[in-house]
Amino acid sequence: MTDSQKRGGEKREKLVAGAAEMLYRHGVEATTLARVAEASGVPAGNLYYYFKTKDDLVRAVIDAQAAQVRAMLAALDGRSGDPVVRLTGLVRRWEDMRDVVARHGCPLGSLVSELDHRDDGLDVEAARPISRILDWAEQQFAALGADRPRPLAITLFAGIQGGALLANALRDPEAMSVEVRHLEAWLESGTGLCK
């Protein structure tokens, strides 16, 4: 349990959810604490009861992202034992998000981009959800019998992230779909590389 999770409670969760939405839509810098508070109907000062600093709020949002990622991967694991099905399921999550991705980018990738310039630890923390997905994908490729599963995991997730970035840049959801279809075909074909 990280420091930013210490104080629990419904209200805190609502604040984090509101902040996550705002961070995603307007970016970290453009999101002022006053507006986060207002959007959640609490006075500005009260935020500081739950989050000591703005960074701490961002950290809480990252933690919430991490939890969502964990839940997503667990759901994928639960739905099928076949690694190809699992990996395809991962890819389809971004297909499902194509419209919002075209408008605001991938929630995971854009946060990492925005926090990249920090020299506090926030940049590293933001990368953790991405890292976790990479590890999970690596396990799936390993289960498929790949000699070197890590590069395959990188290729898969790079495709997803790059597709999201392009869709966002072009404001065109189709770019995301194009890449998703490519990755699905690649997975079906045995990736042309493993074994």
Partner DNA sequence: TATGAATGAGCGTTCATTCAT
Partner DNA sequence: CATGAATGAACGCTCATTCAT
Contact region with a copy of itself (CB under 8 A), list: 51-59, 66-74, 79-87, 101-109 = 101-109
**Closest separation between CB of residue 167 and a copy of itself, Å?**
9
Residue 49 C-beta: closest distance to DNA, Å: 5
Site residues (vs DNA, CB under 7 A):
7, 9, 11, 30-35, 42-50, 52-55
Q: Distance between CA 189 and CA 51 in Å, rounded?
A: 48
17 binds, among a copy of itself, DNA, none (CB under 5 to 8 A by kind): none
Site membership for a copy of itself, residue 157 (CB under 8 A)? yes
Give me the long-range contacts of 131-137 (CB less than 8 A, separation at least 24).
132/66, 132/69, 132/70, 132/73, 133/69, 133/73, 133/90, 133/108, 133/157, 136/73, 137/87, 137/90
**Binding residue for a copy of itself, selected from 97, 142, 193, 194, defined by CB under 8 A:** 193
Helix (H, G, I), strand (E, B) or coil at 42: coil
- The alpha helices in the chain, defined as continuous H runs, are 10-26, 33-39, 44-50, 54-79, 83-96, 98-104, 107-115, 122-143, 149-170, 173-188
User: Looking at beta carbons only, is 35 or 92 nearer to DNA?
Assistant: 35
Contact call for residues 83 and 40 (beta carbons, < 8 A) = no
Which of these, 56, 58, 81, 95, lies nearest to 139 by C-alpha position?
Answer: 81
Q: Which does 65 bind (CB under 5 to 8 A by kind): DNA, a copy of itself, none?
A: none
Q: Which of 12, 42, 54, 159 binds a copy of itself (CB under 8 A)?
A: 159
**C-alpha span between 139 and 105 (Å, rounded):** 26
- Of 6-14, 65-73, 77-85, 166-174, the window that binds a copy of itself (rule: CB under 8 A) is 166-174
Closest contact distance (angstroms) between CB of 142 and a copy of itself is 16
Positions that interact with a copy of itself (CB under 8 A):
25-27, 29-30, 104-105, 109-110, 112-114, 116-117, 124, 126-127, 130-131, 134, 150-151, 154-155, 157-163, 165-166, 168-171, 175, 178-179, 181-182, 185, 189, 192-193
